[in-house]
Structure formats: structure tokens, C-alpha cells
């Protein structure tokens, strides 16, 4: 299926993905009010967008985890679930092309939601709230696309005709678009009334309250802080020398977010799951998918406490396998591991989109690179002591020492939440990832699917797919 088809899929297709569980069930709009039909349309749209987003999550984490050497996917009957991520170059028709259809389906759904908002007989404040929700999710969706496709850039324009090819734009342009869209959406959320004209699921209320426009705006600011430090570390020209402008943008955004260094580190926005028939379970849970195993380097690399015991985050998230597992098809397809995950304890455990622990580490980064090394050290030590059970450390010797410490703390705190691959790439440290075997390669981006590129052959300029980038 090509992008021209997928971005034209009707809204109802994604709505069905989220319509079964209690959290994502559509409320009863049968009461005899003038706005009941409009309310039902908006609820269907919002629930469909959230349902499609959570349907993509396990695929994202699989891709980020394998490419970032956090996991192996040792599916017992098909070695390609593992090896397709390590060949060089990556096969644009292979397993490593995942999560292209889902995001663009949701961007089409968001395009349709905008039209529904415009036509709905609701107040201007409610329209502002709904448009703020839409803009935040447009930005978040493309944030995930650029995290995966990186130097290939992305397609940002969704137009009325889903079969009209739109251009690829550069990585920096995509990330600038995301930052600007988040700011636009934030303005709409702050101009909104007290409530959305639809109901959000319990992933917005189970770990804090983000279910009304004012508090949802804090989620928006958290995402703005994330994209700001990405842009800064990557040397985006819009960020100025040393990324200073974007690092300051991150600090400003954090003041409007839900950051709290003394509060619950798990506060944030989450995806929800259900064990009900026909609904989606958490695909990262070890019983739902027993073949996603932890990379063995975690054991050697995890920090140790003063008594030589291992970091609390390791013991909370990692389990020892009863029998070591190896790849399908022999040792030439990978190396064995004796550890797996226990961090998603049940098939309905919620999965984080962004949470307080990440925000504290974002602030540490932004503080250090805007000249506040003591503030950065305080944030790093908050995470070391509160999350890892480690002793506080002393001052950073230099920027390299800080980045090494930052990446270690992010690796442990945000394990299998989609960050390690992004982090080593944005700091120019892809080569520090283990190759595992001499025949394996390390890649900085996932390929654009061949089905997308095939329909663009013969077009000119950036209407064509970007050239394939080999790994190292």
C-alpha cells in the first residue's frame, strides 16, 4: 500500500482500532441536545486518532529498540524479524520499513478531524480546544516519523486529494515544522474553554491530569521541550551557535509543562490497553510477545551502587531468562541473551508517551548547554539517586563527560521507551552501539518503503524518495 492510498483511508478505519475498550468506547450521545450528532462525530474522530496512535506504539518500540541495541526480536520461525535491521543497506521492502503507514493514516485522520471541527456547531472556545488537540497530535505524529526516518526527512503536507504526491522536506525543516505546530496548538489550547468537546481516555488521567485543555497544554509543552533538545543537539541552523536558542526554548517550554523534580517520576501521558475481546493488548508485555528480549549489554553497562549491587532501574525492568535464547537460524544471525523485560508487567499495562522523568533529564541537558552546569548536575543527581538508587556524582569534567553521563541516565531511566537510538544519533555516537556480529551494520534511519518510492519514480526533485543512506 502506498502513501497515496494510506493517507486517504477514511476516518472510520482508524476509529475502529480504539472503539472496543472501556477507555476508548464512545460516550452515549443519544440525549436530545442540538449538538449530539456533532459531538458524536468529534468523539469518533478523537478516539480513532488515539486508537491509531496506540496501535502503532509496539511497532515503534520494536524498531527503536532493535536499532538502538536495547532489544532482540528473536521470533522463532523467521530470522528476518531480527536480521533485516542489520543488513547494509537496509532493504526498503524488508522488515525494517515499519511504522510508515500508521503515522500517515493518522495524519489523514487529523486532516479529516480539522474539517469536522470547522463544520461542528460548537463554540469558538471548543473549536480552539479541538484544534489545539489536533495540532499537538499532528506534531507528535511527525515527531515519531522524523525519529525513525531522520536524514530522509518526511512528508509534512496532507492535502485534500490523498493521491496527489507531496514533497519530502529535510530533517531540519520537519523538526522546525513540529516546533512551530506545537506553539500554534499551545496558543489554541490556552484560548480554549474548560473542556474538550470530546472525552480523552484514562491514559490522560491515570498518571496525572491532562484531560482538559489547560492541562493538556502541559503535555504540549513537554513535547515542545523534547523536540527542542533534539533540534539543538543536531545543530539545526534555526537553533543558533551551540544550539543555544533551542536549548533556551526547551527551558521555557518546561516551565509550562508538568516537570516536578520532587514529584512522581511516572507522571505523564500514556497509551491504554484492554483485555476485552477484539481490543488491543500491550504488545511489549512478555506474555503477549515472549520473543522481544533484552540486549545482553544492559547487564554489563548498568551502573553499580557503592556496595556493587546493580542500578534499581535494571532490577525493576529486567528479568533473567530460565534458558538463554539465541536467534533463529544459527549464530550467524545474532548472539544469545539471558535477559528479558518485566517492565510492562501485564497485557494491559499502560505505556508512556512522555513522563516526568524524561523532562528532568531534558532540563539537565538544556541547563548544561545554556551555561548552568550546577543546575544540570542537580537534575542528573535527582535521577541517579531517586530512580537508580545511586550515589550523587560530582561536577562534570567537560561537555564530553556530561554527555556520557546524560546518555547513561537516559538509557536506564527511559529504557525501551524509544530514546536510546535517537540519543546516540543526535550526539554523534551511533558508533558506540555494539554491532554484535562483524557482518552487522549500525543504521541512523529506517528506509522509506519501496511501495512509496515505486509510485514516485519519474517525478522530479523532492517528489522522489531520497537516496538510500548506508549504515556504518
HSE of 434 in the Cβ direction (CA atoms, 13 Å)?
A: 16
Q: For residues 184, 185, 190 and 191, what is the CA-based torsion angle, rounded to 10 degrees? A: 80
Domain boundaries in the chain? 3-281+355-429, 292-341
Cα–Cα dist 330/183, whole Å: 51
Cα–Cα dist 313/23, whole Å: 29
Hey, what's the cell of 112?
479529516
**CB distance 369 to 244 below 8 Å:** yes
For the chain, 472 residues long, the average pLDDT of each consecutive 10-residue run is 35 38 46 55 96 96 98 95 96 96 97 96 97 98 98 97 95 98 98 97 97 98 98 98 98 98 98 93 96 98 97 98 93 95 97 98 98 98 98 98 98 98 98 96 98 95 97 98
The whole-model pTM stands at 0.93
Q: With respect to CATH, is domain 3-281+355-429 assigned 1.25.40.390?
A: yes
Cα–Cα dist 88/299, whole Å: 28
Confidence (pLDDT) at 241: 97
Confidence (pLDDT) at 55: 95
Amino acid at each position: 500500500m502506498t502513501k497515496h492510498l494510506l493517507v486517504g483511508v477514511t476516518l472510520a478505519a482508524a476509529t475502529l482500532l480504539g472503539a472496543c475498550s472501556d477507555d476508548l468506547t464512545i460516550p452515549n450521545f443519544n440525549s436530545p441536545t442540538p449538538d449530539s450528532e456533532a459531538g458524536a462525530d468529534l468523539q469518533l474522530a478523537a478516539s480513532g486518532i488515539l486508537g491509531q496512535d496506540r496501535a502503532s506504539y509496539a511497532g515503534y518500540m520494536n524498531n527503536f529498540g532493535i536499532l538502538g541495541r536495547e532489544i532482540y526480536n528473536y521470533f522463532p520461525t523467521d530470522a528476518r524479524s531480527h536480521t533485516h535491521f542489520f543488513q547494509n543497506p537496509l532493504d526498503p521492502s524488508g522488515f525494517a520499513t515499519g511504522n510508515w503507514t500508521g503515522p500517515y493514516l493518522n495524519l489523514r485522520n487529523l486532516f479529516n478531524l480539522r474539517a469536522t471541527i470547522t463544520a461542528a456547531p460548537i463554540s469558538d472556545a471548543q473549536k480552539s480546544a479541538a484544534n489545539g488537540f489536533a495540532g499537538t497530535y499532528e506534531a507528535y505524529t511527525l515527531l515519531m516519523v522524523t525519529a525513525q526516518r531522520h536524514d530522509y526527512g518526511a512528508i509534512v503536507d496532507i492535502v485534500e486529494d490523498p493521491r496527489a504526491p507531496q514533497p519530502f522536506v529535510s530533517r531540519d525543516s520537519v523538526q522546525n515544522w513540529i516546533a512551530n505546530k506545537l506553539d500554534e496548538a499551545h496558543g489554541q489550547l490556552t484560548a480554549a474553554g474548560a473542556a474538550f468537546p470530546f472525552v480523552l481516555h484514562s491514559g490522560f488521567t491515570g498518571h496525572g491530569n491532562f484531560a482538559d485543555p489547560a492541562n493538556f497544554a502541559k503535555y504540549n509543552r513537554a513535547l515542545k521541550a523534547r523536540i527542542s533538545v533534539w533540534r539543538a543537539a543536531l545543530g539545526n541552523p534555526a537553533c543558533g551557535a551551540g544550539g543555544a536558542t533551542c536549548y533556551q526554548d526547551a527551558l521555557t517550554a518546561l516551565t509550562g509543562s508538568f516537570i516536578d523534580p520532587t514529584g512522581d517520576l511516572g507522571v505523564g501521558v500514556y497509551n491504554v490497553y484492554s483485555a476485552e475481546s477484539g481490543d488491543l493488548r500491550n504488545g511489549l508485555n512478555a506474555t503477549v510477545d515472549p520473543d522481544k528480549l533484552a540486549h545482553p549489554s544492559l547487564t554489563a553497562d548498568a551502573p553499580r551502587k557503592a556496595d556493587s549491587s546493580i542500578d534499581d532501574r535494571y532490577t525493576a525492568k529486567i528479568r533473567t531468562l530460565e534458558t538463554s535464547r539465541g536467534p533463529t537460524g544459527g549464530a550467524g544471525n545474532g548472539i544469545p541473551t539471558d535477559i528479558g523485560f518485566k517492565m510492562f508487567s501485564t497485557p494491559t499495562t499502560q505505556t508512556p508517551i512522555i513522563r516526568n522523568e524524561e523532562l528532568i533529564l531534558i532540563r539537565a541537558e538544556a541547563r548544561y548547554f545554556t551555561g548552568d552546569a550546577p543546575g544540570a548536575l542537580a537534575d542528573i543527581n535527582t535521577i541517579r539517586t531517586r530512580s537508580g538508587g545511586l550515589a550523587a556524582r560530582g561536577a562534570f569534567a567537560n561537555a564530553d563527560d556530561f554527555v556520557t553521563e546524560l546518555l547513561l541516565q537516559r538509557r536506564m531511566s527511559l529504557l525501551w521507551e524509544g530514546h536510546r537510538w535517537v540519543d546516540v544519533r543526535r550526539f554523534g555516537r551511533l558508533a558506540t552501539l555494539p554491532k554484535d556480529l562483524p557482518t552487522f551494520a549500525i543504521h541512523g534511519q529506517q528506509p522509506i518503503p519501496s511501495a512509496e518510492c515505486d509510485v514516485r519514480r519519474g517525478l522530479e526533485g523532492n517528489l522522489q524518495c531520497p537516496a538510500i543512506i548506508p549504515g556504518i
